[in-house]
Amino acid sequence: IGSLNIALGGRVSADVIGRGSDSALVEAVFFSDDEAVHDALGELDIGTDDGQIVISRKIMDGRSTNRINGVTVPAAAIRSVASMLIDIHGQNDNQSLLKTDRQRDVVDRFGGDGLYEKKALYMKLYSEYAGLKKEIENDDLTPGEVARQIDRLTYIKREIEEADLSPDEMESIDEKYREVSLSGEVVDVLSSVYDKGSKEALELLNRVIPDMRRLSENHEKLSGFFGQLLEIEELLGDFNRDLSSYMQDYTFDENELFDLEKRVDLIHSLQAKYGESYEDIQNTLKETLDSLSHLDDYEAYRKKRQERFDELLSELNAAADALTKERKKAAADLSSEIRTALGELNFANCDFDIDITKTEDFAAHGRDDIEFVIATNPGEPKKSLAKIASGGELSRVMLAIKSVFAGSDEIPTMIFDEIDSGISGRTAQMVSEKLHKLSRGHQVICITHLAQIAAMADTHFVIEKEVGSDRSLTHIRRLSETEITEELARILGGVEITDAVRENASEMKRLADEMKN
């Protein structure tokens, strides 16, 4: 479970790296033909080969490299995809069921699209309501403060509007400024090369060439040097003509550079005040104009805002009532199905219900307090799940809920870690039968120490630890039919495995197979 949680994007530290190694690798391979899963992968630009999804994480000194089908992704992307592929249920999930937020989520999920639509409408209205409520509560501006606000906002409006920004200019002005600045440097350098370098060099050559010509005429060995000097003079002359022509065509306007510098400073100043991008600055302008329109006739705005708030309060009340009604309908149906499922899990005469009470104030999720209540013995009053349920009872309640959702649940793989906590005997047998029913529509992996649950499995693996001289290794291997019976006997018999225990294990396996068939 620890390894799988790492593979599925859980937190990880360098402690998982084995001694003497510099990295650890964990990999999980899934097969899925679910369009929603493939759409989610498509949004990450990840393809699949015949529905195969390979999730891998390599851990190196506290950091990790995360990949899906070879594509590097953040851990959050792995968690998002994995949540559509696998559901791991352990002891922590049992405890989360005691939280009322979790219980409300279970009811809302059971309510389906009808409840979701009413909840979405309520949440939209609540968002506006909460914003207006906060604004009204914080609204204590005096006439003088209103005037100061108007002055400040008018300055912001004028500063942004007079700048007359455009997206293209903001993207290109820094580069253009660099180019124009470089133009000035180019002119300075080329002028220096022409005036102090090549032009003077040509003048010096022209002074020495007549002397070299005279000497070469009388000294044949010097004629070669004289020819090289003439070539240099010709090259330098061509260079000077080309350079002079280029400088005549090359434009540099100091006034343009000055104007650009002022423009760059202005844009950078606006970015520092109102946002880095053009869109950010325009949003600031829009908010400023909205605020000014409110402040120009503040009393009229206050009146209009209060009228909208009163109207919104009425709409929110209606939406909350509709949501409550839908939740009560869903809760009644869900509690009925959970009672049936609990009966199948050896909760004889169990009374389970979902209480919904209206709260005084609105909240982001609605106006309902939702609580799972249960009486595990006849004649007892129903009490909160948190006050009455033992560990074994919680495991069965969670299993009952999962079995209710199994028909509509699109997550293909379920893992149950120690679902047998606090149960034994006939209860364990009934839990195993419920897990078997779940496995008809899902891949179910169950980690257990109870023979009744293990006997019901279709495939068996045993986890063993091998302790060596310098390190311990964990092995997982699949069991043969003979080994399955022997392992069941080991669970049943403890230290000494007698023939009677083996016979009991064999009978348990045979009865489980008959039940499944």
Contact 446, 457 (CB under 8 A): yes
* Per-residue confidence (pLDDT) for residue 278, from 0 to 100: 87
* Per-residue confidence (pLDDT) for residue 175, from 0 to 100: 79
Per-residue pLDDT of the chain (517 residues; tens, 9 = 90+): 888 888 888 888 777 887 778 888 999 999 998 888 888 899 898 988 788 999 999 988 767 889 999 999 998 899 889 888 888 876 666 566 778 888 898 899 889 889 999 999 999 999 999 998 988 887 776 777 778 888 888 898 888 888 888 888 888 888 777 777 776 667 677 777 766 656 677 777 787 788 778 787 777 777 788 788 788 878 877 777 777 777 666 666 677 778 778 888 888 888 888 888 889 888 998 988 887 777 777 777 778 888 899 999 999 999 999 999 999 999 999 999 988 888 888 777 788 899 999 998 999 999 999 999 988 777 788 888 777 656 667 777 778 888 887 766 667 888 888 777 777 788 888 888 888 988 888 899 998 888 889 999 999 999 988 887 777 888 999 999 889 999 999 888 867 788 888 899 899 899 989 988 8
Contact 163, 266 (CB under 8 A): yes
Sequence-distant (6+) residues with CB within 8 A of 419 are 89, 395, 399, 431, 435, 446, 448, 453
As a whole number of Å, the CA-based R_g of the chain is 40
Phi, then psi, of 366 in degrees rounded to 5? 135, -160
Q: Please tell me the number of Cα atoms within 13 Å of 23 on its side-chain side.
A: 9
Using CA atoms in the order 362, 363, 368, 370, what is the torsion angle rounded to 10 degrees?
Answer: -160
Report the relative pairing of strands 86-89 and 71-72 from DSSP bridges: unpaired
* Per-residue confidence (pLDDT) for residue 376, from 0 to 100: 78
| Exposed / middle / buried, residue 512 (Cβ in 10 Å: 0-12, 13-18, 19+) | buried
The H or E element containing residue 477 is: strand 472-478
Give per-residue burial for 279-301: e unless 16+ CB within 10 Å, then b: eebeebbeebeebeebbeebeee
* Ramachandran assignment for 75, one of left (phi > 0), alpha (psi -120 to 50 degrees), beta (any other): alpha
Contact 41, 53 (CB under 8 A): yes
Give start and end residues of each alpha helix (H) in 383-480. 385-388, 391-405, 425-439, 451-455
* Per-residue confidence (pLDDT) for residue 314, from 0 to 100: 94
Sequence-distant (6+) residues with CB within 8 A of 33 are 51
The closest alpha carbon to 64, from 53, 78, 44, belongs to: 78
* Per-residue confidence (pLDDT) for residue 276, from 0 to 100: 86
The closest alpha carbon to 372, from 353, 395, 392, 388, belongs to: 353
DSSP 288-304: HHHHHHHHHTHHHHHHH
DSSP for residue 17: S
- What's the predicted TM-score (pTM) here? 0.59
* Per-residue confidence (pLDDT) for residue 218, from 0 to 100: 75
The closest alpha carbon to 367, from 422, 403, 327, belongs to: 327
Report the relative pairing of strands 24-31 and 52-60 from DSSP bridges: antiparallel
Task: Give the largest Cα separation in the chain, rounded.
Answer: 138
Handedness of CA 266, 271, 272, 273 (dihedral sign): positive
Matching residue, tokens 């090259």: 235
* Per-residue confidence (pLDDT) for residue 316, from 0 to 100: 95
d(CA 124, CA 130): 10
| Exposed / middle / buried, residue 158 (Cβ in 10 Å: 0-12, 13-18, 19+) | exposed
* Per-residue confidence (pLDDT) for residue 456, from 0 to 100: 92
d(CA 274, CA 268): 10
Nearest 5°: the CA angle 99, 104, 109 is 130
Contact 68, 46 (CB under 8 A): yes
* Per-residue confidence (pLDDT) for residue 249, from 0 to 100: 63
The closest alpha carbon to 322, from 113, 115, 128, belongs to: 115
Phi, then psi, of 144 in degrees rounded to 5? -65, -40
d(CA 317, CA 329): 18
How far does CA 128 lie from the centroid of its chain? 26
DSSP 111-142: HHHHHHHHHHHHHHHHHHHHHHHHHHHT----
Contact 476, 442 (CB under 8 A): no
Give the number of other Cβ atoms within 10 Å of residue 449's Cβ.
10
The closest alpha carbon to 346, from 417, 440, 448, 452, belongs to: 452
